Structure 1
């Protein structure tokens, strides 16, 4: 985290106390974008512990590469704990990467282009694409207002009633954190942990 990002967020009257409490945070690009995208799909709408169990089983049972996922028997993927739908989604991602979607291409795209490209894959929504931007591509200015943890963090740091603000209103409140909204998001998650 740059000193500029840290100081800007620390100076914010609402987020500043959380920033000061947790200190500087880093965003690190992942060297395994396919693997991380698959993990994001596994994590969708599951508790942390359930997702971890399924993820561990899958990594033990198959090689988590596009070729490995597509070569795996569907029953093996299902036995790992993936639903029928998530099995399909993971295979869709594998097909997209096998058909030419690459880490280099994604790194070269703008944030909006990454979201557009990833959400063309059935099973990858805006939330997953934004998590990819933050945790795989290490983009600094992503605000995933679709995430429940982000919304709860906003409520906490701004002293808001639960669900009293629209997503648009929350985006407006986050605007002063530009161009460091990915870091701000990490602090919001910490605020509710």
Structure 2
């Protein structure tokens, strides 16, 4: 977090008030125990495991998934793409994965065998180029890639308009009444002045706890 970023965001009086009343904790780096070349790949696996379930359940399932690739029962390893594809459906199901998520994880592995899937490879791409690069993976949508851009690739100007929490918080903060496409247009208009620090703005909205009306 830089003083320049905060000063820029605080030119929006609504956001300035939210910043003033919201403590912000820097998120922990993802997979610091994993070589950088594997972090994007592993983050994609984790993002698929965590889809549509609670954080607690996702953490437990992903831990059991990683244990399938460990030399000891207590350790948490992680598979190479080839190792993942060698696991049977029954073995992967034993970690608590649904059939659909197994297919999605296998899609990540297949993509990684056919295409570079490293932070270094995507580092020169624009945010939108990263989105388009990863969208062919089954189970990976725009929101998933935007979370990777924000928390794995540390991109500073991502605005995940499809994120329900961000959307609801902005609607609340700015007393918006639009719905559907007009709402999405209005959200983009509100966020435009936050460039090039929209990632930081969204982190404040995620942590902001509005007072009950």
Q: Same fold (TM over 0.5)?
A: yes
Q: Which has the larger radius of gyration?
A: 2
Give SS of 1:14's match. helix
Q: Note the C-alpha offset of 1:22.
A: 3.5
Change (3 A) 1:162 1:172: closer
1:105-120 correspondence runs (5 A): 105-120=121-136
- Alpha-carbon distance, 1:73 to partner: 2.2
Work out the CA distance in 1 between the residues paired with 2:133 and 2:79.
Answer: 21
Alpha-carbon distance change, 27 to 56 in structure 1, aligned in 2, over 3 angstroms: closer
Structure 2: where are the runs of 5+ without partners? 31-35, 70-77
- Match in the other structure for 2:46: 39
- RMSD in angstroms over aligned alpha carbons? 2.3
Alignment-derived partner of residue 163 in structure 2: 147
Q: TM-score, normalised by structure 2?
A: 0.80
**Cα deviation code 1:81-134 (max 9, x no counterpart):** 221111111111111112232312211211111000100112111111111111
Whole-Å Cα distance in 2 between the matches of residues 17 and 76 of structure 1? 51
Aligned residues: 193
Taking the aligned partners of 1:113 and 1:41, their CA distance within structure 2 comes to: 20
Cα distance in 1 between the residues matched to 2:188 and 2:104: 29
Which residue number in structure 1 is paired with residue 208 of structure 2?
A: 191
Q: What TM-score comes out, normalization by structure 1 length?
A: 0.88
The alpha carbon displacement at 1:33 in A equals: 1.0
Q: Which range moved further: 38-47 or 161-170?
A: 161-170
| Greater fraction helix | 1
**1:186–1:102 CA distance, 2 compared to 1 (3 A):** same
* Counterpart residue number, 2:184: 167
Q: Are residues 20 and 108 of structure 1, via their aligned partners in 2, closer, same or farther at CA, if it must alter by over 3 Å? A: same
